[in-house]
Amino acid sequence: MENSNPILDGRQVLEIGDIMAILPHRYPFLLIDRIVEVERKKRIVAIKNVTINEAFFQGHFPDYPIMPGALVVESIAQAGGTLLLPEVPDRHNKLMVFTGIERAKFRRPVVPGDQLRIEINVLNWRSRAVRMEGRVTVDGQLACEAIVMCQLVPRQREATGPGAAPEMVTQE
């Protein structure tokens, strides 16, 4: 029998407090607001409400505010992390970090007032690495699509010298 997951079991909607109990991200870098669909280990749908109060709009761009594409892709990764981190037994000792982005395409700008619907499908998941396909839509129109690869790494850095990053494992 599959292990149960008290965070996701039987729930289709997760509020911001539930998301913050899973992800380590905080303002201004927490980029999802709600989970509206979950299929454990396979699929998740998140919502991000984009407002003019977002810190990045101050400089991107002051007279024509557009959400940076890199942050739209980050919202894909955060939605995927919300799906998969609860499945990791010692998740409080781990971080899920990017190891790659493939085929990122941006179809329309994301602007204040938009509501992003972030749909994630898990393509491949191993014990330490995952490959996910993400599609972000606004009012049914495709805004961004990308395949992201992430890996679980220890939250505490190894004592290998100043500024040493966790060792990454490449996928075969």
Residue 73 resides in a domain: yes
Range 109-116 average pLDDT:
98
Q: How far is CA 37 from CA 16, 99, 133, 152, in A?
A: 14, 26, 16, 23
Once rounded to an integer, what is the mean pLDDT over residues 126-131?
91
CATH at residue 129: 3.10.129.10
Q: What is the DSSP letter of 77?
A: H
Question: Does residue 50 belong to any structural domain of this protein?
Answer: yes
**5-15 pLDDT, tens per residue?**
655 556 679 99
**Is the predicted pLDDT of residue 36 greater than 90, yes or no?**
yes
In this structure, is residue 167 part of a structural domain? Answer: no
Is residue 3 situated within a structural domain? no
* Inside any domain, residue 86: yes
pLDDT: which is higher, 127 or 162: 127
Average pLDDT over residues 15-43: 95
* pLDDT of the residue at 127: 82
If one counts the domains in the chain, the total is 1
Cα-Cα-Cα-Cα dihedral sign, residues 115, 121, 123, 126: positive
Residue 1 has pLDDT above 50, yes or no: no
Q: Is the dihedral of CA 146, 151, 152, 153 positive or negative?
A: negative
Whole-model pTM: value is 0.86
Q: Are 45 and 35 in contact (CB under 8 A)?
A: yes
Residue 10 belongs to a domain: no
* pLDDT tens digits for range 95-104: 899 999 999 9
Domain that holds residue 98: 16-154
Provide the pLDDT for residue 155. Answer: 86
* Active-site residue set: 60
- The residue ranking higher by pLDDT, 21 or 169, is 21
Residue 112 belongs to some domain of the structure: yes
Alpha-carbon torsion, ordered 25, 30, 35, 41, to 10 deg: -40
171 occurs within a structural domain: no
Tell me the pLDDT band of 89, cut-offs 50, 70 and 90: confident
Query: What are the start-end ranges of the E strands in 11-140?
Result: 34-39, 43-49, 94-106, 115-125, 129-138
**Is pLDDT above 90 for 91?**
no
